[in-house]
Structure 1
Amino acid sequence: MANSKQAFERRRDRVRRSIRKAAGERPRLSIFRSSKQIYAQIIDDAKGHTIASASTIENDLKGSLKTGADVAAAAAVGKLVAERAVAAGVKQVVFDRGGYMYHGRIKALADAAREGGLEF
């Protein structure tokens, strides 16, 4: 029987495979969620570099947040990454939730990124 890490990696790989098929030329908004922080970055897979990123460990957000591991923190990160992406000229992305379920912090980040101007 597979352990939870292997199951997570299988889910992540399955999600990324389907995203690469549907993405076309759009960059992907990739999410990493730990128990204490949340990170988001917009990656151009064709060129292999990061266009914009945001996380709860940045000094801009760290002082204004109660903790880096709640829905409010995820929404702040989503809004910040969307602002940085729009400033870099990216409007359309494909959402890569990794192996995480689409609820809670992941959903809050996605909704805030949509409100910030990203389309996915």
Structure 2
Amino acid sequence: MLKGLGALGGLGDMAKMMKAATEMQTKITELQAELARTVVMGEAGAGLVKARATAKGEVTGLDIDPSILVASEKEVVEDLILAAIHDAQAKAKTRTDEEMARLAESMGVPPGVKLPF
């Protein structure tokens, strides 16, 4: 008889794995698009400087309270701007990590396994 017939069953498993991989890639692509539209806010100086960024970490805007725009405070303002940007980027990373973990869990990926991003 045909010894290789049992091996053909493995092709069905491979097809299932390929379908699952394609579905996962589609969901990751959709999540990436959603993260690009999601806005997070970072701030510094008790809200005197705010930075907007996408959840993917792209800074899209700044809001600076005019009261700190004094020439003698230039370095302080620069530091606050950087701090607000870093805060926004940290929040973006946290949001992305949370969303990717949620997606992985919904797809049955074991905890701790990072999805490609």
Both proteins in one fold, TM over 0.5: no
- RCO higher in 1 or 2 (8 Å CA, sep ≥ 6)? 1
Q: Return the index of the structure with the highest Cα Rg.
A: 2
More helix by share: 2
